[in-house]
Chains A and B, each alone.
Chain A
């Protein structure tokens, strides 16, 4: 049987798409949560910086013509963080440094914006800084007090690390969940296909009935095509079987007529060479008619096997019956047929098919076995019902043994023997129809041994 050309796997493709999608989503989730957290945390620090700088500006006043900034204790107190962040500030009056840290520069003034935020590098560390200003109106002058307040970000980065870890956990958790869901969804989807596959595989070789089981909507067209394919197959099969049976029948009847004429003519012809020609003719006619018979049998068997009708029979009786009918032909070759084995092997099967199969086996044994010898037919019920035919001939040609049951296949040893190559095929088909099989082997002494086994 030809294996289908496979390219890729639906399961993998589906699974990979889903899991890949989940991974992308998880990464996006991680970055979204993190960037949001950065924003919120920075916002928090900025708010405190603004509150602090505002309280400092509020404490600015002009006294005795000089600017005084009475920094409230709370202004720096509120900048306390768990990581003990460092604080820097600088106070300017109209751009002139008054007190604090000279490292800081005032940003601004910027129209419209009250507080200007920024990052700066102070003494080798990154700080977040806010610049704010306030105009003071004294007795005879206007002056602007500007304050820059900066704070390191140790606590903030500790918080962010913590949040990043949690966000990563969230991402991984989301991914794991989504991946599990993907696997489950993939399995559930592919399960439908698997189920259909199983029900196709489980069918017998001749079972061409349409599938009736319910399938998901997407698979309905597939099942429909499958059903219509099988319907056509069924039809063309039965058509060809019918045709063969008809053809064989039509050939056989005129052949019988031709044969009787040939026999009659043979009586009347005296010349030895003419007689020889006539004998060859009769032999050829026999061969043709036999082949036609075999074809007919084969067609019949194919049909009956499709619609197997089982009835209770006794295999031993069936075989004895057959042997009784074949004994006259056997005696012509001085062959004796012996039936051995169990006394009675009850079985439910098609008697006509089984008899036909065994007849072909015994026929072969008589054809390929030597004259004046014994043919053993053994019928047993254990381990499962089987019928074994052994002759005393040369046996099967060992290199061909595996192909001899194929249709029209004949062995090398069959060159001088009449035959169509269908006998073993018929026996095998009958065995298959009964859920069994056929086994060809040679006995130790060299004779052929054919075992026809049936389902128990």
Chain B
């Protein structure tokens, strides 16, 4: 049996190596007797403190941390449920569907509020709003927009200033971008008008928040819509060129979620990791500071937080997705 597992690990190790990762880091390789393979959409520098705190508490457990896109995580997990122990992703809809489809392991030992978990298998551990981030230079002398409506007006007022200089997610490539866009569309028609305006300004499309922020800093674009506030905040501190705006009409708020693979070989360690994660991120441990935003208040109270419910699967439906993308494309990409 152990021989089989070893062969297994080697085979999958190669699969893992063959993958084109955004990042891959190993924590606590020296002392570890077992290893947790985490595939995540969260940048390593944001997540590393949580892993380090975990391995400090559990010196016998090592962590293999792989970073890739949310859609890729979903695909990897469905293809090879045995290849990873934990999936961490900002695409709540994909994570919920993975759980609904039976890929997640039920963890009865994790105590978490009802609204922040689903089927005791999928656990939310951050609250992160989507923000409008602007380069202040582009708005000097003009009022800074506080809502989507004001942004539309600002863009319409000076189209020449913003042509080729607005950016947002390419929802066809980014799971998180798709989640934000669909939730925005669900909440208000303003979204579509904004998309049309951005489309008319020849919008730039991005795969990730990071790149959008990079371009904002360099001044390639002046406005980025639906950027993860957490990513922007880290960068804005050093660059006071940026201003982060949480739209006061409705700040769409996402919760980062984690699940353990149904086929994990180390269920106990994986469960302990999830326990550690939700505990740290609940803010109960004042001493531990995480660069990731903590899990906020109850979803029901803060209406803009996307709820963990089966409805998240709606926009993942092939027909619905095709319809949404065609609308999105026709609004945004105007030739």
A residues with a Cβ closer than 8 A to B are 67-77, 79-80, 82-88, 91, 98-100, 123-125
Contact partner of B320 (CB less than 8 A), chosen from A69, A85, A87, A123, is A69
Q: Do A86 and B318 have beta carbons less than 8 Å apart?
A: no
Is B186 an interface residue when CB atoms closer than 8 A count as contact?
yes
- Least Cβ–Cβ distance between B102 and chain A, in angstroms: 5
Is B25 an interface residue when CB atoms closer than 8 A count as contact?
no
Smallest Cβ-Cβ distance to A83: which chain B residue? B119
The interface residues of chain B lying within 8 Å CB-to-CB of A91 are 317, 319
Is B172 an interface residue when CB atoms closer than 8 A count as contact?
no
Contact partner of B119 (CB less than 8 A), chosen from A67, A69, A86, A88, is A86
Count residues on chain B whose CB falls below 8 Å from chain A CBs.
19
Q: Which of B67-75, B140-148, B188-196, B306-314 contacts A (4 or more CB under 8 A)?
A: B306-314
Is B164 an interface residue when CB atoms closer than 8 A count as contact?
no
Q: Do A77 and B323 have beta carbons less than 8 Å apart?
A: no
The interface residues of chain A lying within 8 Å CB-to-CB of B313 are 76, 87
Is B101 an interface residue when CB atoms closer than 8 A count as contact?
yes
What 0/1 readout, one digit per residue, does chain B (175-188) give for beta carbons within 8 Å of chain A?
Answer: 00000000000100
- Grouping DSSP codes into helix (H, G, I), strand (E, B) and loop, the A interface class, with mixed when no group exceeds half, is mixed
Smallest Cβ-Cβ distance to B100: which chain A residue? A86
Is B118 an interface residue when CB atoms closer than 8 A count as contact?
yes
CA of A83 to CA of B106, assembled, Å: 12
The interface residues of chain B lying within 8 Å CB-to-CB of A83 are 119
Q: Do B100 and A70 have beta carbons less than 8 Å apart?
A: no
The interface residues of chain A lying within 8 Å CB-to-CB of B120 are 84
Q: Do B102 and A76 have beta carbons less than 8 Å apart?
A: no
Given the known inter-chain contacts A75-B314, A80-B309, please indicate yes or no for A68 contacting B323, CB distance below 8 A: yes
Q: Do B311 and A80 have beta carbons less than 8 Å apart?
A: yes
CA of A197 to CA of B168, assembled, Å: 101
CA of A75 to CA of B101, assembled, Å: 18
Given the known inter-chain contacts A71-B314, A76-B311, please indicate yes or no for A84 contacting B118, CB distance below 8 A: yes
CB within 8 Å of A: which of B253-299? none
- Least Cβ–Cβ distance between A371 and chain B, in angstroms: 109
Q: Do A123 and B101 have beta carbons less than 8 Å apart?
A: yes
- Least Cβ–Cβ distance between A251 and chain B, in angstroms: 106
CA of A73 to CA of B320, assembled, Å: 10
CA of A138 to CA of B120, assembled, Å: 45
Q: Do B309 and A76 have beta carbons less than 8 Å apart?
A: yes
CA of A68 to CA of B102, assembled, Å: 28
Smallest Cβ-Cβ distance to B320: which chain A residue? A71
The interface residues of chain A lying within 8 Å CB-to-CB of B320 are 69-71, 99
Residue contacts A-B, CB under 8 angstroms, 23 given: A69-B317, A70-B319, A73-B186, A73-B311, A75-B311, A76-B310, A76-B311, A76-B313, A77-B309, A80-B310, A82-B114, A83-B119, A84-B118, A85-B310, A87-B100, A87-B310, A91-B319, A98-B318, A98-B319, A99-B319, A100-B318, A123-B101, A123-B102
Smallest Cβ-Cβ distance to B183: which chain A residue? A73
Q: Can you name 5 extra interface pairs (CB under 8 A) apart from A70-B323, A76-B311, A91-B319?
A: A69-B320, A77-B310, A80-B309, A86-B100, A87-B310
The interface residues of chain B lying within 8 Å CB-to-CB of A100 are 317-318
CA of A74 to CA of B319, assembled, Å: 16
Residue with the greatest number of chain B CB neighbours at <10 A, chosen from A73, A76, A84: A84
Smallest Cβ-Cβ distance to A98: which chain B residue? B319
Smallest Cβ-Cβ distance to A63: which chain B residue? B323
What 0/1 readout, one digit per residue, does chain B (81-117) give for beta carbons within 8 Å of chain A?
Answer: 0000000000000000000111000000000001000
Q: Do B314 and A99 have beta carbons less than 8 Å apart?
A: no
Residue with the greatest number of chain A CB neighbours at <10 A, chosen from B101, B186, B320: B320
The interface residues of chain B lying within 8 Å CB-to-CB of A124 are 102
The interface residues of chain A lying within 8 Å CB-to-CB of B319 are 67-71, 91, 98-99
Contact partner of A71 (CB less than 8 A), chosen from B100, B102, B317, is B317
The interface residues of chain A lying within 8 Å CB-to-CB of B100 are 86-88
The interface residues of chain B lying within 8 Å CB-to-CB of A84 are 118-120
The interface residues of chain A lying within 8 Å CB-to-CB of B118 are 84
CA of A364 to CA of B188, assembled, Å: 128
- Least Cβ–Cβ distance between A87 and chain B, in angstroms: 4
CB within 8 Å of A: which of B294-335? 309-314, 317-320, 323
CA of A72 to CA of B100, assembled, Å: 19
The interface residues of chain A lying within 8 Å CB-to-CB of B323 are 68, 70
Smallest Cβ-Cβ distance to B185: which chain A residue? A73
CA of A80 to CA of B311, assembled, Å: 8
Given the known inter-chain contacts A84-B119, A86-B119, A123-B102, please indicate yes or no for A73 contacting B314, CB distance below 8 A: yes
The interface residues of chain B lying within 8 Å CB-to-CB of A82 are 114
Residue with the greatest number of chain B CB neighbours at <10 A, chosen from A72, A73, A82, A123: A73
Smallest Cβ-Cβ distance to B122: which chain A residue? A84
Residue with the greatest number of chain B CB neighbours at <10 A, chosen from A68, A83, A124: A68
CA of A77 to CA of B313, assembled, Å: 9
CA of A88 to CA of B118, assembled, Å: 16
CA of A39 to CA of B286, assembled, Å: 50
The interface residues of chain A lying within 8 Å CB-to-CB of B186 are 73
Smallest Cβ-Cβ distance to A151: which chain B residue? B310
- Least Cβ–Cβ distance between B154 and chain A, in angstroms: 30
Smallest Cβ-Cβ distance to A79: which chain B residue? B310
- Least Cβ–Cβ distance between B324 and chain A, in angstroms: 9
